[in-house]
């Protein structure tokens, strides 16, 4: 799809991008520094995009453990504004290629809807196949990604901008997108979309959904799941240069592990490791509130965010922690 490239660096679009970058972060030093010269900073971005001289700066990297250890690459405020400006226009373009049951990095989708959809499938299916990709973000091949992007984006300067962002990851030779980038979320979600279409259109798989690289499908025939895994393993290796982990195949009566939950025919349950993690989060929020780090309002918002996700689960012990009992 062709969109006017100058729309990306229009004042209105850059201002909207800045608003998204700064939302909820107005007290951080980097945001304050950028805001002090906001007009000049946005004008500089517009000039670099117009002349084709834009190039991303270095990332600020740090490690988190939630739930597993990951290296996060934080782009500069300037680069984040560029990414939001780009995706303000191209979000609908990427979204149109997604199948209905792709739930990451899309409006009106998300983890809760993915979990409920999985439960909908589980209620009528005795068996499941769970798959995910080993070191997914680090394994994305730059050239394959560029080829996939160019099939969507027809404007040459926009393609060049996407390529510049892809090439800015110097951690490995031609592989990987940095965790933490807005564009990385779109790239990673789009990279496996071709596999979604392969399953749905070439093999008529009905009960299938994906959240980033977490893939889950259901069927009445356990032997069919083993065959589908073999197909998935071959396609992702040959077409996308990805390594799918060994499959988890089992009964929906016992529960399919998905996004921290066990999806069973009779309900949705928290996995034990997720229960511990969420209880720890709630304790940390309360600790920060008592120390005055979080206001009552801020603590309330954070607790609401955690508990909204938890309330999907029929978990009696966790229900006690949250102050209520499930039905």
**Which CA distances in Å does 37 have to 30, 49, 86, 115, 219?**
12, 18, 21, 44, 57
Residues 88, 90, 92, 94, CA torsion sign:
negative
CA 239 – CA 103 distance, rounded (Å): 22
The beta-strand segments (E) located in the chain are 60-65, 69-74, 127-131, 208-211, 214-219, 248-251, 256-258, 261-264, 267-270
| Average pLDDT value for residue range 242-254 | 96
Work out the pLDDT band at 327, boundaries 50, 70, 90.
very low
- In sequence order, the 6+-apart residues with CB closer than 8 A to the CB of 36 are none
User: Is the Cβ–Cβ distance between 102 and 196 less than 8 Å?
Assistant: yes
When the pLDDT of each residue in the chain is averaged and rounded to a whole number, the result is: 89
Instruction: Give per-residue pLDDT as tens, 58-97.
Output: 988 888 776 677 888 889 999 999 999 999 999 999 999 9
3-class secondary-structure state, position 249: strand
Over residues 176-199, the mean pLDDT reads 96
pTM of the predicted protein model = 0.86
CA nearest to 85, candidates 2, 26, 6, 32: 6
Query: Is the pLDDT score of 33 beyond 80?
Result: yes
State the Cα–Cα distance between residues 203 and 237, nearest whole angstrom. Answer: 18
> Among residues 42, 35, 216, which one has the least CA distance to residue 114?
216
């Amino acid at each position: 799809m062709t969109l006017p490239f100058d729309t990306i660096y229009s004042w209105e679009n850059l201002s909207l991008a800045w608003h998204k970058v700064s939302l909820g972060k107005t007290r951080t030093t980097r945001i304050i520094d950028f805001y002090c010269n906001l007009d000049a900073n946005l004008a500089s971005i517009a000039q670099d995009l117009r002349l084709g001289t834009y190039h991303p700066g270095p990332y600020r990297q740090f490690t988190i453990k939630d739930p597993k250890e990951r290296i996060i690459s934080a782009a500069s405020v300037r680069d984040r504004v560029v990414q939001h400006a780009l995706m303000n226009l191209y979000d609908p373009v990427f979204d149109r290629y997604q199948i209905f049951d792709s739930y990451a990095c899309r409006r009106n989708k998300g983890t809760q809807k993915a979990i409920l959809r999985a439960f909908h499938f589980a209620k009528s299916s005795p068996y499941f196949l769970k798959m995910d990709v080993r070191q997914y973000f680090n394994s994305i091949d730059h050239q394959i990604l560029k080829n996939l992007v160019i099939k969507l984006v027809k404007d040459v300067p926009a393609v060049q901008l996407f390529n510049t962002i892809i090439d800015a990851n110097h951690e490995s030779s031609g592989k990987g997108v940095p965790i933490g980038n807005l564009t990385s979320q779109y790239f990673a979600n789009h990279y496996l979309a071709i596999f979604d279409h392969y399953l749905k259109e070439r093999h008529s798989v009905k009960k299938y959904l994906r959240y980033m690289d977490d893939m889950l499908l259901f069927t009445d025939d356990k032997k069919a799941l083993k065959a589908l895994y073999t197909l998935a393993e071959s396609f992702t290796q040959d077409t996308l240069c990805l390594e799918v982990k060994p499959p988890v195949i089992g009964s929906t009566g016992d529960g399919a592990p998905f996004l921290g939950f066990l999806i069973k025919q009779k309900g949705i349950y928290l996995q034990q490791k997720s229960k511990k993690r969420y209880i720890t989060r709630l304790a940390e929020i309360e600790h920060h509130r008592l120390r005055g780090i979080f206001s009552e309002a801020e603590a309330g918002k954070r607790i609401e965010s955690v508990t909204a996700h938890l309330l999907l689960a029929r978990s009696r012990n966790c229900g006690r922690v949250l102050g209520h009992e499930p039905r």
